[in-house]
Structure 1
Amino acid sequence: MSTTALIVVDIQNDYFPGGKWPLDGVEAAADNAARIIAAARKKGDLVIHVRHETPSPDAPFFVPGSAGAQLHAKAAALPGEKVILKHFMSPYRETELLDILRSSKIEAVTVVGNMSHMCIDAVTRASDDFGFKTTVIHDACATHDLAFNGVTVPSTQVHAAFMAALRFGYATVVSADEFLA
């Protein structure tokens, strides 16, 4: 039995073109995530999908019950795969994720999904804090430009900064090709 789980975070319709909050590079990231999901399934790893809904009906995106809040076809769960519904940035907060990982005797987690600077950061740091050997597939994650104090930070720099920070102390950070080799 595998002791590795793949956590597929928020690969949802609202993040894609035509959605309410499209991310830069989301199509390519989702294609890489799909490759990682296929490999995890083939190896018999536990695959857990995380889906975010914002509990307010006037939410800017991920409105409960909307098509935008559904998992994107590129990362759809197969029958029998766990889908965790979350309402916060960290999929550990007020969900069964930690219990599922512990009861499945998981020692290592691999992370793919969206957004690099929010939920990917949150799940990676928490996974390490809970003692899991953590790997992030950097090119299977996407984000968007950010602004702070009058400065716009391009998405490529946002993504690179967060991947560098995670690699510094929380996770192994590799490309999909490196991971699959």
Structure 2
Amino acid sequence: MTPSPIALIVVDIQNDYFPDGRWSLNGVEAAADKAAQLIATFRERGDLVVHIRHEFTTPDAPFFVAGSVGAQLHPSVINLEDEHVVLKHYINSFRETDLQNVLNRHGIEEIVVVGNMSHMCVDGITRAAVDFGYKTTVIHDACATLDLEFDGVKVPAKHVHAAFMAALSFGYAPVISTAEYLNQSARSAA
């Protein structure tokens, strides 16, 4: 049986999320390294890699200001010339972008999601992709987030990440590690 067309969606791995950026995430460098491993695997197999890049539309944005260095893709995951880069202005990568058209033009039926932030754009694209009928997998150790606070309760990034990965894995998508995904891929190719 021939595997269905698959794409890796690399969500918002941009300079502002790194230590010298305007909105640094916990564990972002380790997550980006895992994402880079997956990008290399998808490229080697000849599968589609789509990069998502977020820019806010107002100049007073806290990060990802249009035209800034912080809004550019991080060098660790930079796109190749022939890879799609989808510019978005909302949490959901499908909203008012050509992402779905790109996937449909390539006959994509399955997507793998990596990137930032676990509790926002990774969550948003995963739920939307499943609602659009794509078989979706999230690679948890290739995603990052940050500490949050709600109603006086401080929530460490590892708990934010775990809560959102648990929620996605409960009803939306398999949530696995980079190693698990690469092992599954190797077995499928054999």
Same fold, TM-score > 0.5, yes or no:
yes
Deviations 1:115-160 (A, max 9, x none): 0000000000001000000000000000001110000100000000
Pair 1:3-2:24 in alignment: no
Q: 1:154 — aligned with what? A: 156
Structure-2 separation of matches of 1:44 and 1:89: 28
Structure-1 separation of matches of 2:155 and 2:58: 28
In structure 2, give the amino acid aligned to 1:114. N
Moved over 6 A (4+): none
Structure-2 separation of matches of 1:102 and 1:41: 19
Identical residues among aligned pairs (%): 64
Structure-2 separation of matches of 1:45 and 1:110: 11
SS of 1:79's partner is coil
Confirm or deny: 8 A CA contact 1:2 1:44 kept in the other structure.
no
Tell me the number of residue pairs that the alignment of Structure 1 and Structure 2 aligns. Answer: 181
SS of 1:134's partner is strand
Confirm or deny: 8 A CA contact 2:30 2:142 kept in the other structure.
yes
TM-score (norm 2): 0.94
Confirm or deny: 8 A CA contact 1:12 1:70 kept in the other structure.
yes
Q: 2:59 — aligned with what? A: 57
Q: Which runs of 5+ in 2 are unaligned?
A: 184-190
TM-score (norm 1): 0.98
1:97 equivalent among 96, 99, 109? 99
Using a 3 Å threshold, how does the CA distance of structure 1 residues 93 and 87 change in structure 2: closer, same or farther? Answer: same
User: Which moved further from structure 2: 170-179 or 1-10?
Assistant: 1-10
Q: 1:25 — aligned with what? A: 27
Q: Which runs of 5+ in 1 are unaligned?
A: none
